[in-house]
């Protein structure tokens, strides 16, 4: 007779993401995970198979939860530049209101994965490629030339990762907002 899970898998996924967010992929051990999730190693492996698989599920969950926000922010204004500005400013507000200065889950993961685990690095790269493609399609739909859309989208990704990391030490919101102005100016 199969064993019945006595824990909420979705809640465990959220808690695992919190731990990866705090410690990074490489620094998080199976023991850290089982302790933080309050489950045994047998339950961990039966449910998640491996640390890498769990981390990949966290990335998927994080990515999927952010796309509706992207749509909502970008389409909230009739002028696409204002929608993009609103999105980037909301991102900066989130970073500035983060009193723990933990940054963005994906940006942290990007900076904390070393070259030894290429599968995890590939998964993170796929996340950013998916978001970059999203921005390219959005901008092209709004009439921006494809080459400009590609360039601006790459700049946005670089800004998102950089701002997340920099916000841990630089709390001057105006410096980030001037970067937002510069990104929007690229679309003129």
pLDDT 10s digits, 54-101: 999 999 999 888 888 888 888 888 999 999 999 999 999 999 999 988
Domain ranges of the chain: 51-185
- Please give the structure tokens belonging to residue 17: 């993401």
Going by C-alpha positions, the residue among 112, 109, 9 that lies closest to residue 62 is 109
Between 41-48 and 51-74, two packed helices, what is the crossing angle to 10 degrees? Answer: 60
* Contact partners, residue 56, CB within 8 Å, separation at least 6: 120, 123
pLDDT 10s digits, 94-144: 999 999 888 899 888 887 666 666 788 888 888 999 999 999 999 999 999
Q: Which CATH architecture has domain 51-185?
A: Orthogonal Bundle (1.10)
This prediction has a pTM of: 0.87
Give start and end residues of each alpha helix (H) in 40-145.
Answer: 41-48, 51-74, 80-96, 105-112, 118-141
- Please give the structure tokens belonging to residue 6: 């006595």
């Amino acid at each position: 007779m199969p064993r019945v899970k006595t824990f909420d898998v979705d809640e465990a996924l959220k808690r695992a993401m919190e731990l990866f967010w705090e410690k990074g992929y490489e620094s998080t051990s199976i023991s850290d995970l089982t302790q933080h999730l309050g489950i045994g190693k047998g339950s961990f492996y039966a449910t998640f198979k491996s640390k890498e698989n769990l981390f990949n599920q966290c990335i998927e969950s994080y990515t999927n939860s952010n796309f509706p926000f992207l749509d909502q922010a970008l389409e909230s204004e009739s002028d696409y530049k204002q929608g993009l500005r609103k999105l980037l400013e909301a991102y900066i507000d989130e970073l500035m209101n983060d009193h723990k200065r933990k940054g963005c889950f994906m940006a942290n993961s990007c900076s904390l994965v070393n070259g030894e685990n290429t599968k995890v690095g590939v998964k993170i790269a796929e996340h950013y490629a998916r978001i970059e493609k999203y921005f390219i399609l959005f901008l092209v739909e709004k009439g921006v030339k494809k080459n400009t859309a590609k360039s601006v989208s790459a700049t946005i990704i670089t800004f998102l990762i950089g701002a997340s990391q920099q916000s841990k030490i630089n709390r001057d919101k105006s410096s980030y907002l001037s970067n937002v102005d510069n990104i929007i100016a690229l679309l003129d």
